[in-house]
Structure 1
Amino acid sequence: MTDYSLDRVPDLAPSARYKFATRVLPLLLLALILLSIPLFEPSRTWLSLFNAIGINMVFALSYNMLLGQAGLLSFGHAVYFGLGGYAAMHGMNAIENASYDGGIWAAFPMFGLPLVGFAGGALAGALIGFPSCRRSDVPFAMISLGIAELVAAAGFMFISVFGGEEGITGDRMNGIELFGLSLGPLGDVYWFIAFWTFVGVALMYAFTRTPLGKMAQAVRDNPERVKFVGYNPNRVRYLVFIAAGGFAGLAGGMSAVNYEIFTPESLSVIPSGLVLLMAFIGGARYFAGPILGAVVLTYMQSNLSDYSEAWLLYLGLLFIGMILFAPGGLAGLLLSGTAALKHSLSVKGLLRVGAFASSALLAAAGIIVLVELAVRYSNGFGEAFEPFGLHLAPDQMMSWVVGLVLAGVGIGALKVLSKQGGMGS
C-alpha cells in the first residue's frame, strides 16, 4: 500500500521572494537612505539632527526588545544607555591618555567605542536583570523605576565614576583612525553614527529571527504555555534583558562620541520616559515602529520648540491620542492606511479614506488652536495666535469657539467613522 500523505502536505515555508522583501530589502533601503543623505549636502544643523535620530533609533529599538518583544514595561531603560555611555566616555579618556603614555588603549580606535558601551550596558543588564526578571508585569515595572532612581542618585554621589553634576567630558580626536575618519568634522561623525546605526538595527532585527527572539514573543503572549513546553520564562526574559541592555549601551557609546560629554541626567527617568514614548507612538508591535517614533519625536524635540512653547504638551497629547485611537502606533496607521488604499480603490473607498484624513486634520487643528490660545492667555502678554494669517486673540470668545468647533467636529467625525468600521470598510 502506497502512502501519499506526504504529497498532500502543502509547503508552508516562505518563498525566497518573500524572505527578500521582508528581511533583506528593508535593510538595503535603510543603507541606501544612510548613504544618500550626505549627497544632499545637509547643513550642520541637519547633520546634528540626523546624528541624534540615529542614536535614538538604536535606543528605541533596544527598548522595544523588552516592551514589544518580551512584554516587559520598563521605566528605567536609560540606566543601560547611560552606563554604556559612561563606559564609552571612560574608554575615550583612556585612549587619550594612552596616546601620551602608551598602553593597550593606544591600539583601540575611537570608532569602536560603541562596543565598549555595548559591553557596559550588557554587564549592567546582567547584574540588574538577575533579580529584576524574576518578576513581570507591574512588579517588574516598579522595580525598573526604583532602579532608575537609585542609579540616577548614584550618578550625583560617586563623582569619580560619574563626574557629579558636570559629568565627564572627553575628546574624540585621539587614537588611531579607522576608515580614514578622524571624527573631528561633523561629516565624519555622521558616517560613524550611520555605520553603527545600521549595525545596531541589523543585529536587533536578526535577533528577532533567532529562537530566543521567537521564544521571547511566546513569553510575552502566553508565559504559562512556554513553561508547559519546558522553557523557563524568567530565563528567557533575563537573556532578552541582557541583550536589550547591551544595545542600549551601544546607543550610549554612540552618544558619547557624538556629544563628547555624559552627565547623570542621562540615567534619569526623563530619557527613560522619552524612549517609552518613541516605542509606543511609533508602534511597539512592529519592528519599524520605534524607528518611526524615534524620527518623529527627535524632530519634535529639536524643532517644535522653535514654534511653540507647548511642544511637550503636544507630545503628551500625541501619546494619549495614539493610546486611545491608534494602539498600533504610527506603523499601524501606515499599514492600515496602505491596506485601505489597496483594497478600497473604488470611489467610495477613497472618499472614506479622505474622510478619515480630513477628520483627523480638523481635530488636530482644533486642539492646536485651543492649546496655543491657552498658552498665550496664561502668559498674559495679549499676544494673538495667527495661523495662516488668521487673528485669534485669547481674550476673544470667538477664538475659543473656533477651536472648540474644529476639535469637536473632527473628533465626532472620527468616532462616527470608527463605529462604521475601519478605513477600508
Structure 2
Amino acid sequence: MSTTQESFDYSAHIPSNAEKFRQRTLPLLIFAAILVAIPLTGPSRTVYTLMHQMGINIVLALSYNMLLGRAGLLSFGHAVYFGFGGYFAMHAMNWIADGSGIWADFPVFLLPVLGFGAGALAGAVIGWPSCRRAGTTFAMISLGVAELIASGAFMFDSFFGGEQGISGDRMNGPELFGLTLGPISQVYWFIAFWTVVGVVGMYAFTRTPLGKLSEATRDNPQRVQFIGYNPQRVRYLVFIFSGGFAGLAGAMAAVNYEIFTPDAFSLVPSGFILIMAYVGGITYFVGPIFGAILLTYMQSMMSDFTDAWLLYLGVLFISIVMFAPRGLAGIVFGFSAGLRGPRPRAFLITWLTQLAGVALMLIGLIVLVEIAVRWSNGYGEVFAPFGLPLAQANPLSWLLVVAPAIAGVALSRRAARMREAQA
C-alpha cells in the first residue's frame, strides 16, 4: 500500500469535530441536564431509589471500562475496589459520628473522596503483581484475588463486620451545601453531584496522555514499548485510577444504603459490572452509562414482574455479544450515522424491518419463558398478558410462541438481504 493510501485510510477513521461533539460532549450535556430535571418532576421515593442505584452503577461501570474498554484488561474482580471504598467510607462515617479528632469537622458529603483513595490504594497493592501480565493471565489473577478477598471478608470481623457487615448514620458531622442527607431527596443531590464528578473525571482521564497510552497499550503493547514507554507501568497506573473510581462508587453506595456487607466483594457484583459495561458498549465512553441504566432498571423493576428476569438478562448479554458487539451505544450511534448517510430512507426501512423482526422474536421468547416458569413452579398460576390466559395446555399459547418466532426470523433475514443490497 502506498504512503498516500495509508494516509487516506488513517484520516478516514479520525472523527470530525461535529462527530466528537455528538459522541462525547453532547451525551454528557444531556446526561447532566436530565439529572437536574429529575427532581423538578416530583418523583416518588421509588424513583429516587432507582436513580440512586443508577448513579452508583454508572460510576462503577465506567470505572470498569477504564480497564476493559481502554486498557484491554478483562477483570473478574472489580467489585473488590468498590468494596474497599465502601467499607472505608463506612468506617469514616462512624468516626464522624463519634466526633473525635479531625473527623468532627469532616462532612459526610465528602466521603467519596476517601472512597477514591481507598480504592486507589487497593488497586496499587493488588495491581502491582496483577498488572505484570495481561490477557488470560490477568483475568485469572483477578478471579483469584476476588475469591481470596471475598473469603477473607468473612474472617476479619474487626474491619468487615462479619456476615452482618457495618452500618452507620449519614446524618452526622457538619453539613455541606445545606444538605443534612436525611431526606431521600437530599441524598439524590449527593448521588447526582458525585456521579457527575465521576463521569467528568473519567472522561477527562481518557483525554490525558496516560489515557491515550492505555488505548495504545491495548492495541499494540510492542509498539508502545518501542516508542519508549513501559506497557506494564501504563496498565498499572490505569489499574490504580480504575480502582479509585470504583472506590468512589463504593463510598456513594455506603452513604446511600448506610450499610456495607462482605457480599459486595463476591463474584456476583463483579459479573454484573462486566455485563453492564459490555451491554452498553465498551468501545464508546457513554456505552457503560447506557448499560448501567438499562441493567439497573432490569434488576430493580423487572424482578417485580417476572421471576425470569435473570434469564432475560442472559439472553440480552448473549445477543449483544453475538449480534451487536459494539453494544447499545453502537446501535444508537450507528442508527444516527445511518440517518445522516447517503440513503437515509432505505436505511430507515431496513432498520424498522430488523426492529420488527427482533420484537416478534422477543414476543415468542417471553411467552415461552413465562409459560415454562409458571408450569415449573407448580402453583397452578397461568400467564395471562392483557387478560388472555395462556396455559401450557392451550394450543393458542404455543401458536403465540411459534408464529412470532418464525415471522421474526423471516423479517430479520429480509433485513439482512436489504442491507446487502444497499452495500
CA 1:132/1:317 → structure 2, altered by over 3 Å: closer, same or farther? same
Deviation at 1:345, TM superposition (A): 5.5
Deviation at 1:165, TM superposition (A): 0.3
Q: Extract unaligned runs of 5+ from structure 2.
A: 1-10
Report the equivalent of 1:120: 118
Equivalent residue of 2:154, what SS? helix
Q: How does 1:181-330 map to 2 (within 5 A)?
A: 181-330=179-328
Report the equivalent of 1:6: none
How far apart, in 2, do the equivalents of 1:176 and 1:117 lie?
19
8 A contact 2:83–2:250 mirrored in 1: yes
Q: Which moved further from structure 2: 338-347 or 162-171?
A: 338-347
Q: Which moved further from structure 2: 396-405 or 13-22?
A: 13-22
How far apart, in 1, do the equivalents of 2:287 and 2:421 lie?
20
Report the equivalent of 1:3: none
Deviation at 1:385, TM superposition (A): 1.8
Q: Does 1:63 align with 2:64?
A: yes
Q: Which amino acid aligns with 2:113?
A: L
Q: Which moved further from structure 2: 349-358 or 309-318?
A: 349-358
Deviation at 1:398, TM superposition (A): 4.2
Deviation at 1:373, TM superposition (A): 1.3
CA 1:344/1:315 → structure 2, altered by over 3 Å: closer, same or farther? farther
How far apart, in 2, do the equivalents of 1:206 and 1:423 lie?
42
CA 1:306/1:21 → structure 2, altered by over 3 Å: closer, same or farther? closer
Report the equivalent of 2:88: 87
Deviation at 1:424, TM superposition (A): 6.9
Report the equivalent of 2:369: 371
Indicate the RMSD between aligned Cα atoms, in angstroms.
Answer: 2.1
1:284-313 CA deviation, whole Å, 9 max, x = no partner? 111000000000000010000111110011
Q: Which amino acid aligns with 1:144?
A: S
8 A contact 2:351–2:415 mirrored in 1: no
8 A contact 1:66–1:241 mirrored in 2: yes
Q: Which amino acid aligns with 1:268?
A: S
How far apart, in 2, do the equivalents of 1:169 and 1:296 lie?
29
Deviation at 1:193, TM superposition (A): 0.3
How far apart, in 1, do the equivalents of 2:132 and 2:192 lie?
36
Deviation at 1:326, TM superposition (A): 0.7
Deviation at 1:395, TM superposition (A): 2.4
How far apart, in 1, do the equivalents of 2:239 and 2:421 lie?
37
How far apart, in 1, do the equivalents of 2:117 and 2:409 lie?
48
Deviation at 1:20, TM superposition (A): 5.5
Q: Which amino acid aligns with 1:293?
A: G
How far apart, in 2, do the equivalents of 1:36 and 1:422 lie?
43
Report the equivalent of 1:133: 131
Deviation at 1:419, TM superposition (A): 5.3
Deviation at 1:344, TM superposition (A): 6.3
CA 1:72/1:412 → structure 2, altered by over 3 Å: closer, same or farther? farther
CA 1:182/1:407 → structure 2, altered by over 3 Å: closer, same or farther? same
Deviation at 1:113, TM superposition (A): 0.2
How far apart, in 2, do the equivalents of 1:424 and 1:214 lie?
35
How far apart, in 1, do the equivalents of 2:70 and 2:349 lie?
36
Work out the number of aligned pairs and report it: 412
Equivalent residue of 2:419, what SS? coil
Deviation at 1:352, TM superposition (A): 1.5
How far apart, in 2, do the equivalents of 1:21 and 1:296 lie?
21
Deviation at 1:136, TM superposition (A): 0.9
How far apart, in 1, do the equivalents of 2:420 and 2:161 lie?
53
1:5-60 CA deviation, whole Å, 9 max, x = no partner? xxxxx9x9988777665554443322211111100010011001101100000000
CA 1:251/1:423 → structure 2, altered by over 3 Å: closer, same or farther? farther
Q: TM-score, normalization: structure 1?
A: 0.92
How far apart, in 2, do the equivalents of 1:172 and 1:283 lie?
35
Q: Does 1:53 align with 2:51?
A: no
CA 1:420/1:234 → structure 2, altered by over 3 Å: closer, same or farther? farther
How far apart, in 1, do the equivalents of 2:205 and 2:237 lie?
12
Report the equivalent of 2:42: 41
8 A contact 1:341–1:353 mirrored in 2: no
Deviation at 1:387, TM superposition (A): 2.1
Deviation at 1:81, TM superposition (A): 0.2
Q: Percent same amino acid at aligned positions?
A: 59
Report the equivalent of 2:8: none
How far apart, in 1, do the equivalents of 2:421 and 2:190 lie?
42
Report the equivalent of 1:157: 155
Equivalent residue of 1:384, what SS? coil
CA 1:18/1:371 → structure 2, altered by over 3 Å: closer, same or farther? closer
Equivalent residue of 2:250, what SS? helix
Deviation at 1:407, TM superposition (A): 2.1
CA 1:368/1:21 → structure 2, altered by over 3 Å: closer, same or farther? closer
1:54-104 CA deviation, whole Å, 9 max, x = no partner? 000000000000000000000000000001000100110110112xxx311
Q: Which amino acid aligns with 1:182?
A: T
Deviation at 1:348, TM superposition (A): 3.6
Q: TM-score, normalization: structure 2?
A: 0.93
Deviation at 1:381, TM superposition (A): 2.8
8 A contact 1:356–1:423 mirrored in 2: no
Deviation at 1:411, TM superposition (A): 3.2
How far apart, in 1, do the equivalents of 2:372 and 2:14 lie?
57
Q: Which amino acid aligns with 2:222?
A: E
Q: Which moved further from structure 2: 17-26 or 325-334?
A: 17-26
8 A contact 1:227–1:233 mirrored in 2: yes
Q: Does 1:77 align with 2:78?
A: yes
Report the equivalent of 2:4: none
Equivalent residue of 2:133, what SS? coil
Q: How does 1:342-421 map to 2 (within 5 A)?
A: 342-343=340-341, 347-418=345-416, 420-421=418-419
Deviation at 1:412, TM superposition (A): 4.4
Q: Which amino acid aligns with 1:411?
A: V
Q: Which amino acid aligns with 1:61?
A: L
How far apart, in 1, do the equivalents of 2:131 and 2:422 lie?
41
